[in-house]
Amino acid sequence: MRRLKCTIQYDGTGYAGYQVQPNGLTIQEVIETTLARMHKHPVKIIGSGRTDARVHAYGQVIHFDTELSIPPENVVKALNTLLPADIRVRSCEEVKPAFEARYDVIGKEYRYFVRREENAFRRNLSVHIPYPLDLERIRQGMAHLVGTHDFSSFCVAKTETDNRVRTIYEAELMTVGDELVFRFQGSGFLYNQIRIMVGTLLDVGRGRFAPEDIKKMLLAKDRNVAGVTAPPHGLYLWEVFYPE
């Protein structure tokens, strides 16, 4: 048996999220069904983590075991021939049998896309914000998120883990074309953390909160003091990091 690591991208618009569930079609289900067609038997994949319904990925990582002797580059071609057009395999490589796409992760990068003009072609891929935003205020607020903090104020109350301390290495607001891109790189993120941080920062940009309020929210450790949860379709799992 060989273990293969694949980096995949997907448009999450038509899916109920990454992980298999009974209430809708998922990314994992589609990939496993495709691999079963190739192998003539069920094949289980393990991903670096879950993404919710309508959330996208540019750099999701999965692994699976195979007895096939197909070179990795041909696995990419075969999968992309069989998969629907909204799921693409970017790369594939053979890794050591001990590699774990989920448990070996040492960091992730997420990006959140916001557009300030209507765009029919981007309606499912970025979030339209019609009101004016003060970008300098947003950047000042983002600076308070960098570092190691308890992010209880920026995750849903039902978050499974009791340890809500995470480290954000980098946080920046970029302009890409006519869109704003919120970029976060960190050790890991809690459930809905990125979307709540972005929703809060957008409220900073429109004047509902002051930039320094972000620091107060972190200290409060209370979801009720932070802003709204931004919609899912602006969010992308951009890159997953592993030890070299």
Q: Which residues are catalytic?
A: 52
Token readout for 115 is 């557009």
Please answer whether residues 230 and 199 qualify as being in contact, where contact means their C-beta atoms are separated by less than 8 angstroms. Answer: yes
> Beta-carbon neighbour count of residue 177 at 10 Å?
8
Distance CA 91, CA 75 (A): 9
